[in-house]
Amino acid sequence: MKLTTLQADRYRSLKHVGTSFGGLNVLIGTNASGKSNVLDALRFLSEGVRAKDFADSVADRGGIVHLAWKGEAADEISIETHYEDEGERYAWTVSLRRVTGGFATWERLYQIHDGDPPGHLLEANAGKAWWYSTQAKSNRVNLALAPTACALAVASADESFPARRLGAFVQRWGFFDPSPPLLRRASNASDADRLDTFGRNLAARLYALQKGPDGGEAFNRIVMATRRVLGLPEQLLLRVSDIDGRVYFVQREPGLSYNVHQVGASSGTLRMLAMMTALFGEEDASLVGVEEPENHVHPSALRAFAEYLRDASERVQILVTTHSPLLLDCLPKAEEVAVVRRTQDGTTIEREQHPEAIDAALDASGFGLGEFYETKGFGA
């Protein structure tokens, strides 16, 4: 299954924004252009499916008032996403409507058929929900939910619901913005099911991967990939504290007689370990978003890292935000790049209409993709 398009209306800076997605997607723009809001809109959907409710996700973002576009009074926020799955196509829309005391959810799911009206598979409005079922009388399951519930998540637990794979797909999205101060912390061994967004449980996740059913293959790949990009660590050694049972790691570095503790590892090394864990340690992930991978990483390391991005995109959809034209120079396909700009009317996202022609022109000129977008003023 693949995510193919996003249309966001009045979600933060995304007043009216639409974009498409392929296997590898790089969103480049200046600070406050809105590129992170694209990832956040998708993260919002995934959180809602996992929690079966959008209430906590709205609260974590400051409430419905602060989640909405600030250019005008916004009483409704809408996120529409489209998907393809082995010839089947779906359109899922989640709208948040302001009501007294908070918000209510209006949710719709359609199966799209060429030349025919879309098939209506699910709808929920302020808790009054129904979805299509192959086993229920009249082919419908009717259910009262909380006004802020995620009906897709509830329906996906029904084996007779024809789009239940969609719920599982969205649930397995992962978004990562590793923070060096948090990456330096030891973590509980029990907190290892999936890598935390900010990398709080990096050591525990690596420990679980080293002990995993693949014999540590994913762990070894993560360490080797990090070493290839940065030149270290020579070896990563995981430890369990005798004091509190928390997991931490030490690493061997070239030229040193003693190991470097996780607390003292460089910010770039820690971020690269976390990003490689996101790319190759989350086997169940169906989509991975990474925020600004160039942060804390020397520009000379970006080419090798870009190769791993492309490698991972053969298995899972990848979305990357960046400020760096240097990263674009390492990614030769114009079709993979979307330029994000901020205007007085909110965020805009532009993709090239004829990417093949740009690729051919760049090959002939010797210029890189980053140089091309700098010339165009990618952040102007």
Whole-number pLDDT of residue 378? 52
Provide the pLDDT confidence category of residue 379 given band limits of 50, 70 and 90: very low
At 317 the pLDDT is 98
Dist. CA 261–CA 248, nearest whole Å = 8
- Residue 148: CB atoms within 10 Å: 23
Query: How many beta carbons lie within 10 A of that of residue 330, not counting itself?
Result: 20
User: Could you give the CA distance from residue 261 to residue 266 in angstroms, rounded to a whole number?
Assistant: 10
Task: State pLDDT tens for residues 257-296.
Answer: 999 999 999 999 999 999 999 999 998 999 999 999 999 9
Percentage of the chain with pLDDT > 70?
99
The full set of domain ranges for the chain reads: 1-172+332-380
- pLDDT surpasses 60 at 132: yes
Contacts of 303 (CB under 8 A, 6+ apart): 329, 330
Q: Radius of gyration of the chain from Cα atoms? A: 22
Average pLDDT, the chain: 95
User: Does the domain spanning 1-172+332-380 belong to CATH 3.40.50.300?
Assistant: yes
C-alpha pair distances (Å), 117 with each of 4, 111, 112, 120, 131: 20, 9, 7, 9, 17
Mean pLDDT score, 100-109 = 96
| Residue entry with tokens 């990009």 | 229
Please state the rounded mean pLDDT for residues 9-16.
98
Model confidence pLDDT, tens digit, residues 141-194:
999 999 999 999 999 999 999 999 999 999 999 999 999 999 999 999 999 999
Name the strand (E) or helix (H) holding 16.
Answer: strand 14-20
Per-residue pLDDT band at 198 (split at 50, 70, 90): very high
Beta strands at 287-291 and 317-322: parallel, antiparallel or unpaired: parallel
Which tens digit of pLDDT belongs to each residue from 23-43? 999 999 999 999 999 999 999
14 backbone φψ class: left, alpha, beta (φ>0; ψ -120 to 50) = beta
